[in-house]
Amino acid sequence: MTAAKALSIESPTAILSTWIREAFRGRFPDAESDFADIAVVETANPEFGDYQCNAAMGLAKVLRQAPRAIAETVAAAGEHPDCLARIEVAGPGFLNLYLDNDWLARHLEGIAADERFGAPEAGAGKTVVMDYGSPNMTKPLHIGHLRSHNIGSVLDRLHRFLGYKVIADNHLGDWGTQFGITIMGYRHFGDEAAMQTAPLEELERVYVLSYEQTKEDPAWMEQCRAELVKLQSGDPENLAMWEMFMRLSLEELDRVYARLGVQYDIVHGESYYRDKLAGTVEMLEQKGLAVESEGATVVFLEEEKLPVCIVRKSDGGFNYATSDLATVAARVEEFDPDRIIYVTDERQQLHFKQFFAVCRRLGYTVELDHIWFGLMRLPEATFSTREGNVIKLEALLHEAESRALDIIEASSPDMPEEERRAVAAAVGVGAVKYADLSQNPQSLVTFTWDKALALDGNSGPYLQYAYARIASVRDKYADRFPEGTPETEPLRLDETIERALALQSIRFGEVVTRAAHQYKPNVLTDYLYELAQTYSSFYQNVPFLKAPEGVRESRVRLCGIVAAILKQGLDLLGLKTLERI
Ligand code: ARG
């Protein structure tokens, strides 16, 4: 096969939208509208054409005509672009557009040869900083940490795919309140032996004990605050302890990230900006944005109807917002990004509103987006073993792999042990990721194993199996027709189901663009699921190897294109594809 190149391919949506806009302009030259908003959209139902335009309905007033008459006038506009086979008026004034079959086949061939499968290079020349994952340190990662890493890394890959320059930054919470609490806990309750065997669990244990103490004992709370201030002002003993905590935490992160396939360009935690915090507050004061209030330094955000944003506490300690303000300054200076994207759970909405409001007052022009997501809930009895109240992310991944292994042992008893384990890791971790990604990010996700591991629903394993099945068609063909070269045979789209599959395949580029720009990985999961379903009815409804020569090659080629699109899509979602399951 020849290597894919970057081609510039205009989608039928773009071609037809431009054409129909011009048709309106040509037909209604005196109208008090430039028709700039007119566009066609993909239809979900083939009864309404491949694409549809409903502009006539909204223009009845401006053009002083019935929508149906307007639609008829436009439909009769002479010259059609090559891609358009016919245009029909339906119902009260819908315009249904049908693509030319041959054009569709050639267009899909072009998309298959393009390294981006027809997606535009939307991000050319644009830089985006992505801040996701960003866990607070010294605690093991738990299931609550999945979504930010998972959704964030998909948005990261989607943007890179579209040609954006992405700087993925893991903005670790490594300089905040929890350190004062952990230092006190470690000093008073620390167990050396436990630190050797399970350090993060031990740190979490002492953190919890110390935290409980803060609720009962105000003096303890005071001391925790004092320890944090000491750390933040460079006390050597606290700093040494902090360094040890950090080293242990980072080892754990590396392990889990390798398993999840999460990668960063930079890992600049809050501590990286620690020498900038005092300067940030001073700068805010100098600009008259921050003022003294009850011993603290705050920015009033009454105009924005938001609560005050505290940038320096009365004990001299700095806040989360101070650190984010110092970080934004450094990012703008170092990377000059067009956009900074922050991915966190829904509970941080207020923080980002306040912090963005202060940024606007400071005159930053970089676009700042907070992408928040709902919590992930696990019903009782999701786990065979459950320790304590929080479920560790590693335990979730472990359970996923062992459940996947059971399924594979049942379905492929002949597979060698080592391969089976590798497949189980890919299917298990993929199932967990997909279960999260296939939901609207902003909704509450209820995770169940049945759904995550289902082989016949909208799940990761379903798509991984679908891919492996499609890939095997090519192998079967090669066995029977070793001389055949389906990749160079022209595609033919004579059957309705072939045409439907081709139509869906050419939409990949638009889907990926939408998923990236709307910050919704589920736009892509929905698409891949539908594509796999259409493929499955294609496979069931038309003969492949028994089809006449030419048709046979075209079908095998179409399979190969669908497989490549599925693989690319799953890759963007961070799911591995396997040639054999
Ligand atoms: N460390 C924070 C948390 O665990 C998330 C940080 C998000 N990024 C940021 N720049 N504020 O909740």
Residues 480 and 541 in one domain: yes
Residue 46 has pLDDT above 90, yes or no: no
Classify residue 216 as exposed, middle or buried by CB count within 10 Å of its CB (0-12, 13-18, 19+): exposed
Lowest mean per-residue pLDDT among 2-16, 83-97, 203-217, 529-543: 2-16
Band (pLDDT 50/70/90 cuts) for residue 328 is: very high
Helices (H) and strands (E) in the chain, counts: 21, 13
Q: Name the residue range of residue 442's domain.
A: 400-573
Residue 108 lies in a domain: no
Which ligand 1 atom is the nearest neighbour of the CA of 327?
10
Pairing outcome for strands 367-373 and 339-345: parallel
- Which pLDDT does position 383 carry in this prediction? 56
Distance (Å) from CA 524 to ligand 1 centroid:
26
Per-residue confidence (pLDDT) for residue 188, from 0 to 100: 96
Q: What pLDDT is recorded for position 232? A: 85
pLDDT over 50 at 574, yes or no:
yes
With a pLDDT cut of 90, the percent of the chain lying above it is 85
Q: Are residues 251 and 139 in the same domain?
A: yes
Both structure tokens of 437: 């990604």
**Residue 125 resides in a domain:** no
State whether 419 and 507 are in the same domain: yes
Quick check: 199 pLDDT over 60?
Answer: yes
* 42-46, 212-216, 353-357: least confident range: 42-46
Look up residue 546 and give its amino acid.
K
pLDDT digits (tens, 9 = 90+) for 138-182: 888 999 899 999 999 999 999 999 999 999 999 999 998 889 999
Look at residue 393 and tell me if it is in a domain.
Answer: no
Tell me the pLDDT of the chain averaged across its residues. Answer: 93
Return the pLDDT at 481.
96
Alpha carbon distance 251, 335 (integer Å)? 28
pLDDT at 385: 45
87-118 pLDDT per residue, tens: 999 999 999 999 999 999 999 999 999 999 99
For a ligand 1 pocket test, name from 132, 348, 369 the mutation site with the most ligand atoms within 8 angstroms of its C-beta: 348
Q: Evaluate whether 470 touches 540 at the Cβ level (below 8 Å).
A: no
Pocket test for ligand 1, best of 148, 171, 355, 359 (most atoms within 8 A of CB): 171
Q: Is residue 118 part of a domain?
A: no
Do 193 and 228 have their domain in common? yes
User: 444 and 345, same structural domain?
Assistant: no
Q: CA 134 to CA 152: how far, in whole Å?
A: 10
Q: Which of 56-65, 131-140, 352-361 has the highest mean pLDDT?
A: 352-361
Mind listing the pLDDT tens digit for each residue in 467-490? 999 999 999 999 999 999 999 999
- Backbone phi and psi for residue 544, each to the nearest 5 degrees, phi listed first: -105, -80
**Which residue, of 377, 392, 418, is where some domain finishes?**
377
The domain that contains 37 carries what CATH number? 3.30.1360.70
**Residue 236 scores a pLDDT above 90:** yes
- 252 in a structural domain: yes
**How many percent of the chain have pLDDT more than 70?**
98
pLDDT of residue 348: 97
28 shares its domain with 80:
yes
CA of 131, closest atom in ligand 1 = 8
| First CA to last CA distance, the chain | 24
Is 201 in the same domain as 308? yes
Note the pTM of the prediction, 2 decimals. 0.94
Angle at 454 between CA 452 and CA 460, to 5 degrees: 60
Cα–Cα distances in angstroms (integers) from residue 331 to residues 130, 137, 423, in the given order: 11, 22, 40
Distance 483 CA to ligand 1 centre (A): 57
Ligand 1 pocket test: pick from 134, 268, 353, 356 the residue with the most ligand atoms within 8 Å of its Cβ. Answer: 134
Residue 264 has pLDDT above 80, yes or no: yes
Please indicate, yes or no, if residue 117 is contained in any of the structural domains: no
Q: Which residues contact 207 (CB under 8 A, 6 or more apart)?
A: 138, 139, 178, 181, 182, 185
Q: Which residue's CA is the closest to the ligand 1 atom numbered 6?
A: 134
Pair 527, 507: CB distance under 8 Å: yes
CATH number at residue 437: 1.10.730.10
Predicted confidence (pLDDT) per residue in 48-86, tens digit? 999 999 999 999 999 999 999 999 999 998 788 999 999
Give the CATH number, domain containing residue 155: 3.40.50.620
Q: Is there a single domain that holds both residue 205 and residue 350?
A: yes
Q: How many angstroms separate the alpha carbon of residue 373 from the centre of ligand 1?
A: 13
Residues near ligand 1 (Cβ within 6 A): 131, 134-136, 171, 173, 324, 342, 344
Higher pLDDT among residues 464 and 79, named by residue = 464
Domain co-membership, 321 together with 184: yes
Number of domains in the chain: 3
For residue 264, which phi and psi values (nearest 5 degrees)?
A: -120, 155
48 in any annotated domain: yes
Residue 129 domain-assigned (yes or no): no
CA 169 – CA 300 distance, rounded (Å):
29
Same domain as 365, residue 256: yes
Question: What confidence score (pLDDT) does residue 57 get?
Answer: 94
435 and 352 together in one domain: no
Same domain, 289 and 168: yes
